[in-house]
Structures are given as structure tokens and as C-alpha cells.
Amino acid sequence: MNTFTKEHLSVASNASGRKMHVPVYRFQGEEPGPKVYIQSSVHGAEVQGNVVIYHLIEYLKVTPIRGEVVLIPNCNPVGTNIKSGEYTLGRFDPVNGENWNRGYFFKEELINDFIDTLTEEQSFDDIKLAFRHRVKEAIDTELSKTWGIGLASRLNLQLQYLAFEADIVIDLHTGSVATRHIYVPEYAKDSAQYFNIPHVIFIPNQFDGALDESVFCHWWTLADKLSQKFPQRKWSVPVEAFTLEMGSQEVIDFDSGQYDANGIMAYLNYKSCLVSADIKPKDIARYAVYLDDYKTLYTQDGGIVEYNVKPGQHIKEGDVLAKILNVDDLDNDNAVSYIYAPKDLIAILHFPSASVLCGTQLYKGFINYFKLPSVPVE
């Protein structure tokens, strides 16, 4: 059966000088296999991933695995504890304004320098091992910069150091008011069908600072450059990394958490991480877009909003998305205005507050979406 260990990682310290720790849960299987890394709540208000990890731990107590699974719930204890009244303001570092999910490391120059050291005789396993060492060494260098780094970057780099050891990386998030959706690198399209998530965004080899990108952009770029340098050999991307958005922030739901944990286990079963589990993905409709077709609709005017379309709802061009009440014009025909869908779309999320300024990201949604084939379920 799996061997279980628990340790604690210091990720920050508060103004009193006390270290802030997060738990690190490890399950090691008896058979060799992939290494899996899963974290949750790098944005402090996005708490649903913690209950998903709870259910995953319950599964892993009784489900034999190959390789290793590492789980870090509530990986940003600073963000979780930033409150304003009843609200958790856990998306940005309050000191310097950095997004807690944009401080990870990627440098293409490192990959270019690494490629220059390789010879055609080296095996891919040896290259993988050396590349992991090189990137982790660079992360260590970033952490020990003479002039220091910001809190969000320090937190992110410590987590990335652990994540970069893995073959599979899963970062658990939620939206504001949202339906389930998942970000999938374009080379891993087939994997999207194994999560129990109906909305899929295929993303390119483009680094924007997030954890999943900090992992797959390194490996994807490496594979591309290996193909250019040694075209007679076939190179594939050996690592998969995803961001899963599991509903809305500031909410946990144990039943939904079990559903999502089951989807992650179905994916791990597909990747041969489980020894003999009979866990399969749900037979649900899955709709996908490429990143350019995941659109944001901004408000042109401020006001008080009624959201007329729920996340996950399919609507037609010209349908009413929202009504805006203008309190300066309650006595005339300008009291209520309407926001219409500019195209056929699937609403994925909307702003959490009824009070909005002009220029607010009101809705995000899929256009030009397409349906993915179903996975055969026996």
C-alpha cells in the first residue's frame, strides 16, 4: 500500500517574525511511476481546492498508486488571511500589488544555453534529469538574489521548486462567480476529456506568469528546440500541467469537491498513476475554445447590475446578459440600461459584485466554441 508522510514548508514570515507554514502531504506508491504535484488556494479567496485535496487524500489512503503524489492545500496562508470585513482579498499581495499567481519563473535564455550543452548521444531520460536540475538551480538563484524579491514571487518560487520535480502538475483555483473550466496546454488536448470539467480552454506556449505555464512552457520549449537541433529524433513534451477552476470563490462544497476529486483521479488513472482503480471520467458534454476565443466583456458605464445569465449558460447574440440600474436617473427613461451578448457564447464567469465601475470585467465567455469527443465509458 502507499506510504504516507506529512511535513511542513515555511513559505513566508509575518511582521512578528513568525514563520508561516503550509502542510505537504506525500503518498509514495510501491511501484515506480509518474510524480504528481497538486496545490490549492494560491489566491486566498479560492478555497474550494482545499476540500478537493481533502477528498483526494481520502482516495489515496485506500487506492494503490504508482510513483508519488504530493499535495499542498492552502498554499498561500498570507492571502487566505487578508480580510476586509467579511471578504477575503486574497488575489493580490497587499504590500506591492503583485498577483499571487504571476510570480513564477521562466527564461527562454536558460533553455537556449542548456540546448547548447547537449549531444546527440544523450538519452531523453538523461536530458530530462539534467534539465530539471538546471531549472531548479535557476529558481534557487532567483530566491537568493542579493537585493531580494517580493513576497508573492518568494512564495511562488518555493512552490515552483517543488512542482518542477513532477511529471503532472495541477493547480486548483476558482473563478469569481463561475462554472467549472480548465486551462489545458494545446499539446495535451486528449487529457481534457478525462477531467469532469465541461469547459476547456486550450492555451499556447506563452508564459504569462502562472504556475502551469511556468512548468509546461519550459518543457514545451525544450521539446521544440530539441526537435530543431536533432530533427532525426522524435521529441515529445514529457510533462503536463493544468489550472483547474472549480466554481466560485469564497465557497466550499464537500459534494462538489468529491466530484472534482473523482475527475482528477480519473485523469490520474488515464496517466497510469493508479495500480488497479476502476475510476472513469463522467460522460458529460465538454466544450472547448482556444485562448483567443475566451473573451472578456467590459462595462461601458457604471451602475448597479442584475446578472441575467448564469455561468455555464449558452446564449445567443443579442440576448440580454445584464441590466444596469443608474440611480442618478431613476425618474426617467435612462434608469435602466441593458448589456447584450455581442455573439453566441457560453458564459463562464461574471464579476462577483452588483456595484460596478465603468471598465469592469463584467463577464467572461467562450465564442467560436466546439464540442470535444466523448471518452468511451465502459
Give the fold, CATH level 3, of 294-371: OB fold (Dihydrolipoamide Acetyltransferase, E2P) (2.40.50)
- The three three-digit cell numbers of residue 320, written as one number: 440580454
DSSP state string for 103-166: -----HHHHHHHHHT--TTS-HHHHHHHHHHHHHHHHHHHHT-TT---HHHHHHHHHHHHHTT-
pLDDT at 288 over 80: yes
Grouping H, G, I as helix, E, B as strand and the rest as coil, residue 27 is: strand
The mean of the pLDDT values for the chain is 96
pLDDT tens-digit series, residues 75-122:
999 999 988 888 888 899 988 889 999 999 999 999 999 999 999 899
pLDDT tens-digit series, residues 239-257:
999 999 999 999 999 999 9
Domain boundaries, the chain: 3-284, 294-371
Distance CA 272, CA 119 (A): 31
Q: What is the pLDDT of residue 94?
A: 86
Distance CA 208, CA 217 (A): 10
Q: What is the pLDDT of residue 90?
A: 87
Confidence band (pLDDT; 50, 70, 90) for 232? very high
User: Do 335 and 329 meet the contact criterion of CB atoms below 8 Å apart?
Assistant: yes
- Alpha carbon separation from 372 to 121, 138, 202, 216, 347 (Å, rounded): 40, 38, 12, 22, 18
Grouping H, G, I as helix, E, B as strand and the rest as coil, residue 170 is: strand
**Percent of the chain at pLDDT exceeding 70:** 99
Q: What is the DSSP letter of 193?
A: G
pLDDT at 376 over 80: no
- The three three-digit cell numbers of residue 327, written as one number: 440611480
Cα diameter, the chain: 80
pLDDT at 375 over 80: no
Residues in the chain: 378
pLDDT at 378 over 60: no
Question: Torsion angle of alpha carbons 302, 308, 309, 310, nearest 10°?
Answer: 100
Distance CA 242, CA 192 (A): 9
Cross-strand bridge partners of residue 304: 325, 355
The type of residue at 242 is F
- The three three-digit cell numbers of residue 344, written as one number: 453566441
Q: What is the pLDDT of residue 308?
A: 98
The type of residue at 12 is A
Q: What is the b/e burial string over 194-213, where b = at least 16 CB atoms within 10 angstroms of the residue's CB?
A: bbbbbbbbbbebebebbbbb
The type of residue at 123 is S
Distance CA 322, CA 344 (A): 15
Q: What is the pLDDT of residue 374?
A: 82
pLDDT at 368 over 60: yes
The type of residue at 169 is V
Handedness of CA 42, 359, 334, 347 (dihedral sign): negative
End-to-end Cα spacing for the chain: 27
Q: What is the pLDDT of residue 85?
A: 87
User: Do 95 and 187 meet the contact criterion of CB atoms below 8 Å apart?
Assistant: no
Distance CA 66, CA 248 (A): 32
Confidence band (pLDDT; 50, 70, 90) for 130? very high
Distance CA 71, CA 53 (A): 7
Q: What is the pLDDT of residue 329?
A: 96
CATH 2.40.50.100 fits 3-284, yes or no: no
Confidence band (pLDDT; 50, 70, 90) for 377? low
Confidence band (pLDDT; 50, 70, 90) for 177? very high
DSSP state string for 285-346: --EEEEGGGEEEEE-SS-EEEEE-S-TT-EE-TT-EEEEEE-GGGTTSTTSEEEEE-SSSEE
Confidence band (pLDDT; 50, 70, 90) for 196? very high
